[in-house]
Structure 1
Amino acid sequence: MRAAVLRETPLLIGLLTLIGLETTHLLDWLLLQPALPVLTGLALLSLLVLLMARGVAHHADQLAEQLGEPLGTLVLTGSVIVIELALIASTMLTGESNPTLARDSMFSVLMIVLTGVKGMTLIVAARVQRQGRTQPMQPEDLASVNQSGSSAYINLITTISVLALVLPNFSQDSLEANYSLPINWLLTFVSISLYGIFLRGQVGRYRNLFIDTTQPQASGTLSLAEGPMEDPTLSHGPQGSILHSGVLMAAGLLVLVLIAESMGSLIETGINDLGLPSSLGGLLVGVLVVAPEALNALQAAGKGELQRSLNTLYGSSLSTLCLTVPAVLAIGEFTGTDVILGLDPLESVLLVLTLVLVRPISGRVSEMDGLMLLTVGVVWVALQVVS
């Protein structure tokens, strides 16, 4: 009991901090201070966010074990995307007009998740796989993933990201890097429909494509050839435990993201005081927002559950693309706000390179696969700093 209370201490501190930021002028006072106090406050808030993210990852891990794969990881990615959409929508409706807001948000999430976090995940999983081995690694000794499920994820991520972030630059039915209204509505329909069909297959008939290939099928399930599978949640932990973990995870996510959003002006002030480019602020906020999913993926990889890590990372990227694009296009149309989807040429090249590297060639991965992705991520961050 005492350990459980101590584990939720970051959430309680985060809740009190959020109340303080919203009801006092502490943040306004801090913004007027020199660089050192600003950076100190930013460091303390970042540490709190990371501690809360660790708690969120813990509850997400419990849900994944209680609900089974892939349903367990869908809970975490679903919670994050709902909050992310709420933040983007509130900014578009109440903040200054920023036509590239959605584009920059989606691209940042893709690069953070698919290069930095996935690169570290592959390295961790590969090292766990070779622990205790004294002989040279054979192909069958490498960390394995379910290639069919990973390919399904990457195919859909590639399709939507190219249609939404690259192709608008070459469209001739609009003067800006965007589509005309009929094409935008078509893109909205396609994104939502494909995502819905994908989720239905992932938790239903094609569930086996998204679990570890070495994991035995749950008792009472049928193979794909034999017909639909039974609900995996029926054989797991009590509903009270699932509800408890789900409520604490959702509360932690909400407080975490709201604190990260409140830190936006603090990050901007600190960056300006240090003479760094403003684009770096969006990167830092993005890192804090995806921290729960990143920690959950790394935690699963440390247990040797690479497929669950990839389900979390790919699911986050896919939901960001398929749900953010329709939401932003609809808000932009109804409020008269300009929306620019097409990436700059440099970002387009980096996105295409990332999509090539994340595509699974075989069902086995090594540390080299992770290092290549990390290299792309480091170069992207460096370009954000010097641009």
Structure 2
Amino acid sequence: MSAHNATPRSAVIFPALAVLLVALVIGTGYAFTPTPAGLVFAAVLLTVLFGTVFAAVHHAEVIAHEIGEPFGTLLLTLAVTVIEVALIATIMLGDKAAPALARDTVFAVVMIVCNGLVGICIFIGGLRYREQDVQVSGANLYLSVLFTLATITLVLPNFTLTSVGPVYSLGQLGFVSVVTILLYAVFLYTQTERHRDYFIRDSLGFTDDGPKLSRRMLVFSIVLLMVALLSVVLLAKKFSLVVDAGVAATGAPPALAGVLVALLILLPESVAAISAARANDLQKSINLALGSSLATIGLTIPAVAAAASALDKQLVLGLDSQGMVLLLLTFALSMLTFGTGRTNILFGLVHMVVFAVFLLLLFVP
């Protein structure tokens, strides 16, 4: 999708529909219940939410194209993170206790991104171009920070002594939140200022000689991006009720709620990453994929931790033994995949197999 093409109608219509739906819900005081009318509302809500998330990412891409790489990829990642924090906080801190939702969502994001999305991008790129290149230095920075954040937030809580796992004590949670923000902030400085060249591949001859957007169109995209993000935040409560009802009605495992949240927020970014891989720009795919994983841990965990502490809610973070094994396997596989800077279809297939195992164990533990 080119940032210079005319704005798709859907990128305008869905934010408008979201605003209308928010106004109707607030104006009528509608309370979702799993009735036939509620099912119709759920279908409308999910359609509008998915469309609005796609619209938000489109406008973020338009703005990102104007400000260039790697700031553009960073903007996309932050826009998606705002949506993710809103959904997680609303569901986890709602009337029905869901203390493990943040953990389930973060773990699902890591599995979806580092195995599912990365695997698909590498596999598709390998089919079309046999091999594709990525910057080893940039991938190593992504992985070093990601592995550290994932370990101290998803594994270490199982082995602390101050509080019985899988939770941190208030002091430990505060320290971990500060450390995750610090690591993510320094990573952003490294990505955008200190070592920008680690995350940009210009050897393919890609240029940005296209016409720039007019100021009016740029402001239009910024306004619609803000409207879309705010609408998703305001509809998050109803989405949480729909997810709870769906999980209860189907008898699905509670962790499925985290997977659904992860899929909702990652779908537009995943489409952009796969399109980049098809265009032989695997570096952009990796920036989008691994960047979203880092932002999920580096920003979501501290935000949810602050909300949980303020409202005196418990926050469960530690994974079970199966989750820790899958996380360790993902770490090792990612290092092998990006260690040489060249990928092929076998690397992609192995990642997809690990993701399939994750899905299997979700329903058949």
TM-score band, normalised by the shorter chain? 0.7 to 0.9
CA-to-aligned-CA distance 1:37-58 (integer Å, 9 cap, x gap): 83x7655554444444443443
CA-to-aligned-CA distance 1:299-328 (integer Å, 9 cap, x gap): 322322221121111111111111222233
Q: Which amino acid aligns with 1:283?
A: V
* Counterpart for residue 326 of structure 2: 350
* Counterpart for residue 123 of structure 2: 123
* Counterpart for residue 173 of structure 1: 162
* Counterpart for residue 86 of structure 2: 86
CA-to-aligned-CA distance 1:134-179 (integer Å, 9 cap, x gap): xxx5xxxx11111111110111000010011111212223222233
TM-score by length of structure 1 reads 0.80
Asked whether the 8 Å contact 1:160–1:322 carries over to 2, the reply is yes
Deviation at 1:6, TM superposition (A): 2.3
Q: Which runs of 5+ in 1 are unaligned?
A: 131-136, 220-234
Question: Alignment partner for residue 191 of structure 2, among 183, 198, 202?
Answer: 202
Secondary structure of the structure 1 residue equivalent to 2:69: coil
* Counterpart for residue 105 of structure 1: 105
* Counterpart for residue 16 of structure 1: 20
Asked whether the 8 Å contact 1:149–1:209 carries over to 2, the reply is yes
1:108 and 1:258 map into 2 onto residues whose CA distance is: 23
Q: In structure 2, do the counterparts of structure 1 residues 49 and 68 end up closer, same or farther at CA, with 3 Å as the change threshold?
A: same
Asked whether the 8 Å contact 1:60–1:73 carries over to 2, the reply is no
1:303 and 1:317 map into 2 onto residues whose CA distance is: 23
2:243 and 2:169 map into 1 onto residues whose CA distance is: 36
In the TM superposition, 1:164-313 aligns within 5 A as 164-212=153-201, 214-215=203-204, 239-256=215-232, 258-259=234-235, 262-313=238-289
Asked whether the 8 Å contact 2:57–2:80 carries over to 1, the reply is no
1:270 and 1:381 map into 2 onto residues whose CA distance is: 18
Q: In structure 2, do the counterparts of structure 1 residues 308 and 206 end up closer, same or farther at CA, with 3 Å as the change threshold?
A: same
Mean CA deviation greater in 286-295 or 96-105? 96-105
Secondary structure of the structure 1 residue equivalent to 2:9: helix
* Counterpart for residue 72 of structure 2: 72
Asked whether the 8 Å contact 2:104–2:259 carries over to 1, the reply is no
Q: Which amino acid aligns with 2:354?
A: V
Q: Which amino acid aligns with 2:353?
A: T
Q: Which runs of 5+ in 2 are unaligned?
A: none
CA-based RMSD of the aligned residues comes to 3.1
1:271 and 1:177 map into 2 onto residues whose CA distance is: 23
Q: In structure 2, do the counterparts of structure 1 residues 365 and 101 end up closer, same or farther at CA, with 3 Å as the change threshold?
A: same
2:81 and 2:251 map into 1 onto residues whose CA distance is: 32
Mean CA deviation greater in 18-27 or 196-205? 18-27
Q: Which amino acid aligns with 2:124?
A: V
Asked whether the 8 Å contact 1:69–1:308 carries over to 2, the reply is no
* Counterpart for residue 95 of structure 1: 95
Q: Which amino acid aligns with 2:301?
A: V
1:302 and 1:23 map into 2 onto residues whose CA distance is: 45
Deviation at 1:207, TM superposition (A): 0.5
Asked whether the 8 Å contact 1:260–1:285 carries over to 2, the reply is no
2:149 and 2:138 map into 1 onto residues whose CA distance is: 17
* Counterpart for residue 9 of structure 2: 6
Q: Which amino acid aligns with 1:187?
A: V
Asked whether the 8 Å contact 1:126–1:365 carries over to 2, the reply is yes
Question: Alignment partner for residue 371 of structure 1, among 349, 352, 365?
Answer: 349
Percent identity of the aligned residues?
33
Asked whether the 8 Å contact 1:146–1:213 carries over to 2, the reply is no
Question: How many residues are treated as equivalent by the alignment?
Answer: 357
Q: In structure 2, do the counterparts of structure 1 residues 56 and 367 end up closer, same or farther at CA, with 3 Å as the change threshold?
A: farther
* Counterpart for residue 223 of structure 1: none
